């Protein structure tokens, strides 16, 4: 602005001077102006001397300040003006003086206080004027803080009215309380203390970690900085830190871990099969192995559980199916595949003669290497029951199968016809018809002299009875009836005999009762002895079938004194009497018997 103004003036002056000898208004150098009243003139006469002066804020830097108008031209102006310099303004304690533009006229110095100090007066800029720095430097005074806030359940120290910048107070809590926040705060550059800590009761809840258990660390109540260490149950894996620390906010740090079911991951591949994880691969999950068609699992364990240490079994393998060559006793293969028998191959079997198949004759090799529907067996043919035999019995001591024999027996009195008591069970059944049991028959029994039998037939069946009868005067000797035996014979036939017992002749005895001659069968006679005789033997006699009196004839013995014997036989008898008194009766009987025998013999001899 100034420059433009001066330029304009100079140009005008130049125009004027060319027209007159006066000088036009002279142009000064930079930062200078005409001194005094000359500044008001527009033209200057010849010889006029004008003096220049430096503008305010500028000082002469040498050279004459005056010029003279000479023939319309001014002499050369030598004056140089340069800006005045205020120089250093000095130092500010706890602060800094900066001269961003310099220290020359118009420049500003800038005062800043160090952190924690404030300027008094708060005038941070001073201008360099024509007369030097236009103000005194301010001072940097330290910042002060009012006492920090009191805290519940705690104290701080030191306690003062005022605190300088950076002065520190320490907080402490009562026992059981924990400082939340920094234990010390300091007076800030803003004249305030930072936020005071608080005194808090820290109680972390006993951690509840599903499928986990504490293995180390504190017991409740868990105070500040207590630690607990957890582990997971078998089969579970910890996620998160296993050691927890009770934080100031009564929360566990770094947060409760979780126990995740262990992941067994992939169990691998099964050749010719497939591994499936229907539930997943975590602890307790099952994998399922299946084999492709024609392959079977070895071992046959298609499921494996993910356990605490990983999959609890090795994967089975899928092996090509092979059925063993069937071994069927008494059977033979008639058709089908030859070993090795693969899946779906078939074989057909038959049984040897006499054996019948139980089960299916055609087998298919199943997926598990077993023949389906299972091996048949060749059972001996069963001939079953052969039926019943009247009046006999059919027995199967070995059974009714091929090769076994049945045994037929006839009841007593029956004959087997034909006489073949054993029949074999053959491939086509029992190899013979059952025999029959025919009743045993007898020819008529023998005729008897003087007698007859009834009934009279040509033939008699087993057990049939015939009755014998004798003509008058004849007596049956033997059983009156005989029967046809199982041997086909009658027992011995009775005979018809003429029974005649002789009239007894008993010396010194008399018949007192009974029959008179002729004495027939079962006739009886009773005897008594004459006076002076005693009967020895039975007094009553019966006529037997053999025409002899029974029990034999008695004798009549004379009653005599003991020392006087009568016969030699009685003497013999009496001699033995005293020695064996116990046998007295027997000896007497023998004695009597001998006597009777002798007497009868005598009679018999006299008779003939």
Ligand X SMILES: *[C@@H]1O[C@H](CO)[C@@H](O)[C@H](O)[C@H]1NC(C)=O
Residue 103 vs 250, nearer CB to ligand X:
250
Smallest distance from the beta carbon of 397 to ligand X, in angstroms?
A: 25
Q: Does residue 249 belong to the site contacting ligand X (CB under 6 A)?
A: yes
Smallest distance from the beta carbon of 14 to ligand X, in angstroms?
A: 9
* Run of H or E including 244: strand 243-246
Q: Does residue 241 belong to the site contacting ligand X (CB under 6 A)?
A: no
DSSP assignment of 343-391, as one string?
A: TT-EEEEEEPTTEEEES-SEEEE-TTS-EES---EEEEPB-------TT
Smallest distance from the beta carbon of 201 to ligand X, in angstroms?
A: 9
493: its two tokens: 């036939």
Residues that bind ligand X (rule: CB under 6 A) add up to a total of 23
Task: Give the interface segment with ligand X, choosing from 40-48, 124-132, 220-228, 481-489 (CB under 6 A).
Answer: 481-489
**By three-state DSSP, how is residue 49 classified?**
strand
Chain mean position to CA 230: 30
Smallest distance from the beta carbon of 155 to ligand X, in angstroms?
A: 18
Q: Does residue 400 belong to the site contacting ligand X (CB under 6 A)?
A: no
Q: Does residue 180 belong to the site contacting ligand X (CB under 6 A)?
A: yes
Q: Does residue 497 belong to the site contacting ligand X (CB under 6 A)?
A: yes
Q: Does residue 480 belong to the site contacting ligand X (CB under 6 A)?
A: no
Contacts of ligand X in 65-94 (CB under 6 A): 71-73
Place of tokens 């800043």: 112
Residue from the set 240, 284, 426, 478 that interacts with ligand X by CB under 6 A: 478
Residue 403 vs 478, nearer CB to ligand X:
478
61: its two tokens: 């830097």
Strands 163-164 and 178-180: unpaired
Contacts of ligand X in 37-56 (CB under 6 A): none
Place of tokens 């420049």: 107
Q: What is the largest CA-CA distance in the chain?
A: 257
Residue 106 vs 247, nearer CB to ligand X:
247
* Run of H or E including 592: helix 584-607
x-or-dash string of contact with ligand X, 544-583, rule CB under 6 A: -xx-------------------------------------
Task: Give the interface segment with ligand X, choosing from 420-428, 482-490, 528-536, 593-601 (CB under 6 A).
Answer: 482-490
Task: Give the interface segment with ligand X, choosing from 257-265, 484-492, 511-519, 568-576 (CB under 6 A).
Answer: 484-492
- By C-alpha distance, which of 95, 100, 99, 144 is closest to 121? 95
Rg (CA), the chain: 84
Q: With beta carbons less than 8 A apart as the criterion, state whether 90 and 106 touch.
A: no
Neighbouring residues of 15: CB distance < 8 A, sequence distance ≥ 6: 24
Contacts of ligand X in 332-361 (CB under 6 A): 334-335, 344, 348
Residue 162 vs 335, nearer CB to ligand X:
335
The burial of 464, by beta-carbon neighbours within 10 Å (0-12 exposed, 13-18 middle, 19 or more buried), is given as middle
Q: Does residue 14 belong to the site contacting ligand X (CB under 6 A)?
A: no
Smallest distance from the beta carbon of 199 to ligand X, in angstroms?
A: 9
Q: Does residue 176 belong to the site contacting ligand X (CB under 6 A)?
A: no
Q: Does residue 488 belong to the site contacting ligand X (CB under 6 A)?
A: no
Give CA separation, 235 vs 241, 255, 286, 344, 513, in Å: 18, 22, 14, 43, 128
Give the residues across from 172 on adjacent strands.
155
Phi-psi region of 271 (alpha: psi -120 to 50; beta: other; left: phi over 0): beta
Smallest distance from the beta carbon of 369 to ligand X, in angstroms?
A: 14
Q: Which positions touch ligand X (CB under 6 A)?
A: 71-73, 180-181, 198, 200, 248-249, 293, 334-335, 344, 348, 477-478, 485, 487, 489, 495, 497, 545-546
């Amino acid at each position: 602005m100034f420059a433009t103004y001066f330029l304009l003036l100079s140009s005008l002056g130049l125009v004027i001077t060319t027209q007159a000898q006066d000088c036009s208004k002279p142009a000064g150098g930079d930062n200078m102006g005409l001194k005094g009243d000359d500044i008001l003139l527009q033209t200057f006469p010849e010889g006029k001397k004008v003096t220049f002066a430096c503008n305010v804020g500028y000082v002469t830097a040498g050279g004459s300040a005056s010029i003279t108008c000479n023939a319309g031209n001014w002499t050369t102006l030598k004056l140089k003006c340069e800006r005045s310099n205020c120089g250093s303004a000095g130092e500010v304690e706890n602060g800094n003086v900066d001269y961003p533009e310099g220290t020359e006229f118009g420049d500003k110095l800038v005062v800043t206080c160090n952190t924690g100090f404030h300027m008094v007066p708060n005038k941070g800029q001073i201008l360099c004027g024509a007369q030097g720095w236009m103000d005194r430097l301010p001072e940097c005074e330290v910042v002060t803080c009012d006492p920090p806030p009191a805290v519940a359940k705690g104290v701080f120290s030191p306690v003062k009215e005022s605190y300088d910048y950076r002065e520190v107070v320490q907080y402490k809590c009562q026992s059981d309380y924990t400082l939340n926040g920094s234990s010390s705060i300091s007076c800030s550059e803003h004249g305030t203390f930072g936020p005071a800590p608080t005194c808090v009761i820290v109680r972390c809840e006993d951690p509840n970690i599903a499928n986990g258990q504490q293995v180390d660390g504190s017991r409740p109540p868990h105070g500040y900085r207590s630690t607990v260490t957890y582990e997971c149950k078998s089969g579970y894996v910890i996620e998160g830190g296993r050691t927890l620390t009770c934080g100031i906010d009564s929360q566990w740090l770094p947060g409760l871990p979780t126990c995740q079911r262990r992941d067994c991951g992939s169990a691998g591949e099964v050749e010719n099969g497939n591994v499936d994880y229907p539930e997943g691969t975590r602890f307790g999950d099952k994998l399922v192995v299946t084999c492709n068609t024609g392959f079977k699992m070895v071992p046959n364990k298609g499921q494996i559980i993910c356990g605490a240490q990983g999959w609890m079994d090795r994967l089975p393998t899928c092996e090509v199916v092979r059925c063993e060559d069937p071994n069927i006793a008494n059977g033979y293969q008639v058709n089908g595949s030859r070993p090795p028998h693969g899946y779906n191959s078939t074989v057909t079997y038959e049984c040897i003669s006499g054996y019948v198949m139980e089960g299916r004759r055609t087998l298919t090799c199943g997926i598990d290497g077993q023949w389906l529907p299972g091996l048949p067996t060749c059972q001996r043919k069963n001939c079953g029951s052969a039926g019943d035999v009247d009046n006999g019995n059919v027995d199967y001591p070995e059974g009714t199968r091929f090769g076994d024999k049945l045994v037929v027996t006839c009841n007593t009195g029956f004959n087997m016809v034909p006489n073949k008591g054993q029949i074999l069970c053959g491939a086509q059944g029992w190899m013979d018809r059952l025999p029959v049991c025919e009743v045993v028959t007898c020819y008529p029994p023998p005729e008897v002299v003087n007698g007859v039998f009834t009934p009279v037939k040509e033939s008699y069946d087993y057990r049939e009875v015939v009755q014998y009868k004798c003509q008058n005067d004849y007596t049956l000797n033997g059983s009156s009836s005989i029967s046809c035996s199982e041997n086909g014979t009658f027992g011995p036939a009775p005979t018809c005999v003429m029974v005649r017992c002789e009239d007894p002749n008993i010396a010194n005895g008399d018949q007192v009762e009974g029959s008179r001659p002729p004495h027939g069968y079962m006739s009886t006679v009773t005897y008594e002895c004459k006076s002076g005789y005693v009967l020895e033997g039975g007094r009553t006699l019966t006529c037997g079938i053999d025409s002899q009196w029974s029990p034999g004839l008695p004798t009549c013995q004379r009653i005599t004194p003991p020392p006087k014997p009568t016969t030699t036989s009685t003497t013999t008898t009496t001699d033995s009497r005293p020695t064996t008194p116990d046998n007295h009766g027997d000896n007497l009987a023998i004695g009597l018997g001998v006597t009777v025998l002798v007497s009868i013999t005598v009679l018999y001899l006299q008779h003939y």
